[in-house]
Chains A and B, each alone.
Chain A
Amino acid sequence: MYRSLFPHDLFAELDRLQREMGSSLGTSPSIRGLGRGGFPAINVGGTTNSVEIYAFAPGIDPAAIEVQLEKGVLIVSGERDPDLPAEDAKATVHIRERFSGRFRRVVSLPDDIDPDQVSARYRDGVLHVSIQRREAALPRRISVE
């Protein structure tokens, strides 16, 4: 099911290639930077009665993630501690790609969400926020007399 929701296609592959090339050259393709390759990566999906947001933020204490909903905007923020060895440990860092430090990402939400019906769960490093849509906004079938 997941596979069909986020299918891998040629464009996704090209996009991945571009991002990898960009990061290996040390250049950021966008002046805003956050659009792609920001932390945490975010997937958004929707059904007729809810909006689902997935933030891929592994290795964080769930209590340290702040999720705020205000004026139709969802803000996910927090901090991830670096897992690198202490300075005085005689260690060599060979690869350092994982994000550390403070993060904050903002997702604008559709108009029909109900801010009172939100649930957030953190599992396997993914924060899943589910927001219900308002009853009045649900599609209704109108019978023709």
Chain B
Amino acid sequence: MNDKTRNRNPEAAGTSEAALLPAVDVFEDATGITLLADLPGVTKEQLHLHLEADSLSIEGEVALETPEGMEATHAEVSLPRFRRVFTLSKELDGHKVTAEFRNGVLKLRIPKLEHAQPRRIEVQVA
């Protein structure tokens, strides 16, 4: 699983709008990969996950409740959008990805293909 966000040609992705890179945790166990991404201010409706061939993209629009006529005086989150793209390796099963999204944290579980899962091999005694 590789992070391809930086090397990607923005035009090829269909959008050239600047976006923030969300912080992620990725860990792998015997049966698959778990990815956690911080997407604060993104609602469930504005979170877009795309899996195309071996490319997984996470994109979300930030929507904040702002009162009429608000002027920003200090902004650390300076763009209203998060985007990050990963390349999945071939032993991962893109069809069985599950996603949870709660309090601005996305949790993705990408299982490994059945043949890539570890198996215990019985030793036969002749």
Contact = CB atoms under 8 A, between A and B. Distances in A.
B122 interface: no
A90 B70 contact: no
A46 B71 contact: yes
Interface stretch (A25-33, A69-77, A93-101, A135-143): A93-101
Nearest to B36: A83
Chain A contact residues: over half helix, strand or loop, or mixed? mixed
Nearest to B47: A124
Interface stretch (B19-27, B50-58, B91-99, B108-116): B19-27
B104 A124 contact: yes
Contacts of B79: 6, 8, 12, 16
Nearest to A89: B29
A19 to B, nearest CB: 10
A52 interface: yes
A58 B78 contact: no
A143 to B, nearest CB: 23
Contacts of A40: 40
A98 B25 contact: yes
B103 A46 contact: no
Contacts of A134: none
Contact of A6 (B40, B78, B102): B78
Contact of A93 (B27, B39, B78): B27
A58 B39 contact: yes
Interface in B1-23: 1, 3, 17-18, 20-21, 23
Nearest to B68: A47
B88 interface: no
B120 to A, nearest CB: 14
A142 to B, nearest CB: 21
A58 B38 contact: yes
29 contacts: A6-B78, A8-B79, A13-B18, A38-B76, A43-B74, A43-B77, A44-B72, A44-B75, A47-B67, A47-B70, A52-B66, A54-B77, A56-B40, A58-B104, A59-B102, A59-B105, A83-B25, A83-B36, A83-B105, A91-B29, A92-B29, A93-B26, A95-B3, A95-B24, A98-B23, A124-B63, A124-B103, A125-B39, A125-B40
Nearest 7 A-B pairs (CB), nearest first? A125-B104, A58-B104, A125-B40, A59-B105, A56-B40, A41-B76, A97-B23
